[in-house]
Amino acid sequence: MSNRWRQNIQARPPIFAHSNKVGAIDLNRLQANFAITVAQPKRTGRLTLLGRSAAKLPASPAEARLETFPNPARRNYWIHFETDDFTSVCPVTGQPDFARIDIDYVPDRLCVESKSLKFYLASYRNERAFNEAVTNRILDDFVKACVPREAIVTAQFSARGGIALTVRAEYLGKKANRGDR
């Protein structure tokens, strides 16, 4: 050990004191002597739903808001959301349309917060729209919220009249989608 290091240790009073029953640690002195590093959470932006049990479901997709937070990684990786609890309404008959919704995406700078996605999808419960329109609107709103590198929304609607319908909408990134309307 170096002499300077020994002098620092000898010059300081002990960090803890003993009594007959309890050993007490002076945390302020301990922190002054050691560089204690605690991981600080990154700012999550304006997450208004997470951790709030009093949050109310939006009445329509137009009122809903997909909330985002910074992507914690730089590499390409896929995030998968799925729900079997999706309902919209047929615009012609007024009958409910039930579906399984799968959303797969490669985030760029932002990730979508799952509770806000849950509220967003629930906002369709009274929305009158064709299944194809619903699926494409979900993709459009998702891309608008987080601008992913890639995204796929797959909606598997339950059979009506003996025919099931699956709609798959894809976003392949800014450059690949320039030919779209």
- pLDDT bin (cut points 50, 70, 90) of residue 126 is very high
Q: Which among 109, 115, 107 has a CA at the least distance from the CA of 171?
A: 107
Confidence class of residue 31 from pLDDT cuts 50, 70 and 90? Answer: very low
Average pLDDT of the chain is: 81
Say whether 141 is catalytic. Answer: no
Q: Which residues contact 36 (CB under 8 A, 6 or more apart)?
A: 30
pLDDT at 180 over 70: no
- The kind and range of the H/E element at 102 are strand 96-106
Q: Identify the active-site residue in 26, 84, 97, 108.
A: 97
C-alpha 38/C-alpha 42 separation (Å) is 12
Q: Worst-scoring range by mean pLDDT, 52-56, 112-116, 121-125?
A: 52-56
Read off the tokens for 142: 């998702």
Q: Are 49 and 113 in contact (CB under 8 A)?
A: yes
pLDDT digits (tens, 9 = 90+) for 143-177: 999 999 999 999 999 998 899 999 999 999 876 65
Domains (range + CATH), the chain: 68-171 (3.30.1130.10)
Tell me if residue 97 is catalytic: yes
**88-97: per-residue pLDDT in tens?**
999 999 999 9
% of the chain with per-residue pLDDT over 70: 66
pLDDT of 75 reads 96
What's the one-letter identity of residue 17? A
Among the listed residues 26, 90, 102, 108, the single catalytic one is: 90
Alpha carbons within 13 angstroms on the beta-carbon side of residue 179 total 2
